[in-house]
Structure 1
Amino acid sequence: MPITRPRRAGPIVLAILVAAAALFALYLWTVLNWSYSEGERAGYLQKLSKKGWLCKTWEGEILLSSMPGAIPERFAFTVRDENVVRQLQASMGQRVQLSYSQHVGLPTTCFGETSYFVDKAMVGGVNPVAPNNT
């Protein structure tokens, strides 16, 4: 009867770890590249700062107001594009219109403190529609 040596668990454990890392990388790529929602918001830029202990991200806040005299709602967002950051820094306190995409399920705040990522900003926002006097 031949003597059989016990199988080593090393290659199996390594294969499981590699598969788990690949699945995590695929998940991360998916949530960063496919957005849950996209849209635009307009309001007055109140805050823009670079925050974080280890991962520094640009975080901002605009105040949305549906009508004059109403209590404004805060909209927090993250900016990853340095060109958009410079544009927003120059428009502090002014009305801005932001185009954003929402990415749900990010595993850490290293990508941003919010799930709303601004990719375009327009200073002044949308001009109000003039009444039709015809």
Structure 2
Amino acid sequence: MSESFGSKVKNTAKKIVRIILITALIAGIIIFSFMYWGVYDEGVRAGTVLRISKKGIIFKTYEGQLNLQTFGALKGVNPIAEAFDFSVESSNEQVLKDLETVALSGERVNLHYVKRYATFPWRGETMYFITKVERPEH
């Protein structure tokens, strides 16, 4: 009788461990999915693209920098240069082409972006990803 009780305890313990492992795996997948695809912020930044480059040793990612011009409240004061670092997903070929064009021309553009919750080495160095390049009409 004690053997059957012992085997029942072992089976119950195995089931509990299995349930805990499956729950942890599902929770991990949900958290990873949220951090990878979730969008924290969306917006537009205007300025001139200083650079767009492909970087990395193992994972090659596209990184860029936008020069924002913040103007002071006083007339005649020089604008303070502020930089906005961003990444571009390699699958977004049209955005990469547009960024290269405006980086060479030096024209002022509006960059539409999304901010993700986390960075991943194969995706980009920043949490900001450009989704669209808008060239304002003059």
TM-score grouping bracket, smaller chain normalisation: 0.7 to 0.9
Q: Distance in 1 between matches of 2:132 and 2:25?
A: 33
The alpha carbon displacement at 1:111 in A equals 2.4
Kept in 1, the 8 Å contact 2:54–2:62? The answer is: yes
2:98 corresponds to which letter in structure 1? Q
TM superposition score normalised by structure 2: 0.73
* Alignment pair present for 1:66 and 2:70: yes
Report SS of the residue matched to 2:122: helix
Q: What is the CA RMSD across the aligned residues, in angstroms?
A: 2.5
Deviation (angstroms), 1:53: 2.7
Q: Gaps spanning 5+ residues in structure 1: where?
A: 128-134
Task: Work out the CA distance in 1 between the residues paired with 2:22 and 2:69.
Answer: 50
Structure 1 residue 120 displacement after superposition: 0.2
Who wins on radius of gyration, i.e. which is larger?
2
Distance 1:99 1:18, change over 3 A: same
1:113 is aligned to: 125
1:6-37 CA distances to partner (integer Å, 9 max, x unpaired)?
A: 72766655544443332222122223333211
1:31 aligns with 2:29: no
Amino acid at match of 2:40: Y
Gaps of at least 5 residues in structure 2 are 72-76
Calculate the TM-score normalised by the size of structure 1. Answer: 0.75
Q: Segments of 4+ in structure 1 off by > 4 A?
A: 8-15
- 73-82 vs 50-59, which deviates more? 50-59
- Work out the percentage of aligned pairs sharing the same amino acid: 32
In the alignment, what sits opposite 1:77? Answer: 86
Partners of 1:10 and 1:75 lie apart in 2 by: 52
Number of aligned pairs?
A: 125
